[in-house]
Chain A
């Protein structure tokens, strides 16, 4: 009780502790978060049929001191930075590896993107532009798509990809949904015009691959787009 006797703040807090129902509950549970978690896991945790296709992500919640050893009267020397977890479950950045990636992947992607751009430009395909927040195809868009549909129908061997794009406003996540709605609106209209659905695929890039990176309506309107691409590669 030494600490409490000398500092006034904890005394007040201690009195309040007795008055606060939420708190007495928490005090009883102190150090019991682990227990609560284990109980929770026991309730929900029928673990049959574990497959080895990816690692176990379940969390035991053990080590409630979180690798900290406390401030000690005669502290032992702690060596930091050795091994992947420096004694605390902390990821040591020095041993964090870059995910194994195919070294040629980025180069190949770039080559394929260029090939797609060339093929799409040669086909004279026209893109469709959308209003803010909208995935409705405008009259201008319908006009562009009737041109596109004619070309697609007369090039039956071609696989076409419809990319949905958004401007930078709004959240990344919701723009992926909006981008998909735009791409699907384009696909549906092309199908209405008689294009075989099997020749069309859709993908949403949301606001992650903008055509223009300035801020302002001129740029935004360029990025709210259904972009038609002649597919190359897989």
Chain B
């Protein structure tokens, strides 16, 4: 049995543990809801500065920046519990490639993993590369189990931290981590709405389209190379387009009269589900992306929209107002076996099936007519309200590890993008510029 297999097995048992607890206690509803003892206590002793700042005029030293980003990534991973290193007596500047005597004290204080490193520009040349070395000490082995060495320009220092964080998560869970994931979203430019892309932590926003009108509701392809979205041609008709991120190229997938909205590629990328009113009212359709054959999935007098694929690809959740107000329904991917999932409240919409398959997030209207996020199991047995307070919450989208949800909210006035854990903790706003940021879509993990 390799170490990795053991680690995976251990993580698996962790999931099993939560599963066992879940079945016994109704108030413990999510795998991330367990207290910190499940998390691996990890101490970041420090990333020593080797020289150089983030930008020529900037004051933040490169090592300090990497340390800050790494800490945030590690905290958000929800795999590790970040231990306060104050009082543990570890000095990052004195740590080398061998276990330090100070680690003993740290281990006695419950630390399982110690991480440290150094980063910066060694030479005086401002165009020189940034180097980063990172080390990992594992208390179980009582040795430095290894490290990482990164090199690149100052524009990739955040990426160095993200990549190191993902390596840590990968080593201890066998999963890739989310620190290098991206969020596609819509932002306002004048009266137009264009597609944008940013890092999962809200940094480095990039504009992707410049059509001058409306581009709405982007969704990722499973290989992260493309976005599908609704675009208004000549302001009067809606098409569904495919955008290749690496080249900026665009293709039109659906072009017909009426609404053509809420496209979503299946987990295997072989089908595009979407809603179209080209034959009357909004119905769900499924296009085979290879043959371009289109199959209609729903037939009724109500509006059907917002398809979200189960990770198995065998079912979809969607919104339908066939019974009056919008409610969340489930349907098999061949159009059979339609059944209503939500019954509480008169407005439930925008379902998003979790990547682990065990929850569906959606927008629920509360008795006080607030639009908040709710979670429900696909069997309808458990339902919880995730967000509270003022503001319209919309467009929930899961992180690929299933531990976070990103969504838009007007809680602070203008629409911005927020992140929350699936246990309702750690609500964080991640966009701070722009007048209208909406429709976030979290990328798959590479």
Given A20-B19, A30-B12, A76–B149 Cβ distance below 8 Å? yes
Task: Tell me which residues across on chain B come within 8 A of A89, comparing CB atoms.
Answer: 223-224, 446
Interface residues of A in 173-214 (CB under 8 A from B): 173-174, 176-177, 180-181, 201, 203-205, 208-209
Give min CB distance, B310 to chain A, whole Å. Answer: 12
Question: How far in angstroms is the closest Cβ of chain B from A93?
Answer: 5
Cross-chain contact A174 with B446 (CB below 8 angstroms) = no
CB contacts under 8 Å to B, within A60-92, are: 60-61, 63, 65-82, 84-86, 88-91
Find out whether the CB atom of B176 lies under 8 angstroms from the CB atom of A203: no
Interface residue B234 (Cβ < 8 Å from any Cβ of A)? yes
* 8 A Cβ contacts from B222-253 to A: 222-226, 232, 234-238, 242-253
B269 CB to closest chain A CB (Å) equals 4
The count of residues in chain B whose C-beta lies closer than 8 Å to any C-beta of chain A is 134
In the assembled complex, A225 has its CB within 8 A of some CB on chain B: no
Does A157 lie at the interface of the complex (its beta carbon under 8 Å from any beta carbon of B)? Answer: no
B56 at the A/B interface (Cβ < 8 Å)? no
Q: Is the CB of A170 within 8 A of B349?
A: yes
A-chain residues with CB within 8 Å of residue B30 when the two chains form the complex: none
CB of B209 within 8 A of chain A? yes
Enumerate the 6 nearest inter-chain pairs by beta-carbon distance, A residue then B residue, closest first: A106-B212, A20-B16, A97-B248, A13-B13, A66-B176, A17-B13
Residues of A within 8 A of B (CB): 1-7, 9-10, 12-17, 19-20, 22-23, 26-27, 30-31, 37, 40-41, 44-45, 47-51, 53-61, 63, 65-82, 84-86, 88-91, 93-101, 105-107, 109-110, 112-113, 133, 161, 168-174, 176-177, 180-181, 201, 203-205, 208-209, 215, 231, 233-234
Q: Which residues of B pack against A, CB within 8 Å?
A: 1, 3, 5-17, 19-20, 37, 40, 112, 136, 138-142, 145-153, 155-156, 159-160, 163, 166-168, 170-171, 174, 176-177, 180, 182, 191-193, 195, 197, 199, 204, 206-214, 216-217, 221-226, 232, 234-238, 242-253, 258-259, 261-262, 265, 267-270, 272, 275, 277, 282, 289-292, 303, 305-306, 312-313, 319, 321, 325-326, 347, 349-350, 363, 365, 369, 371, 392, 394-395, 410, 413, 438-439, 445-446
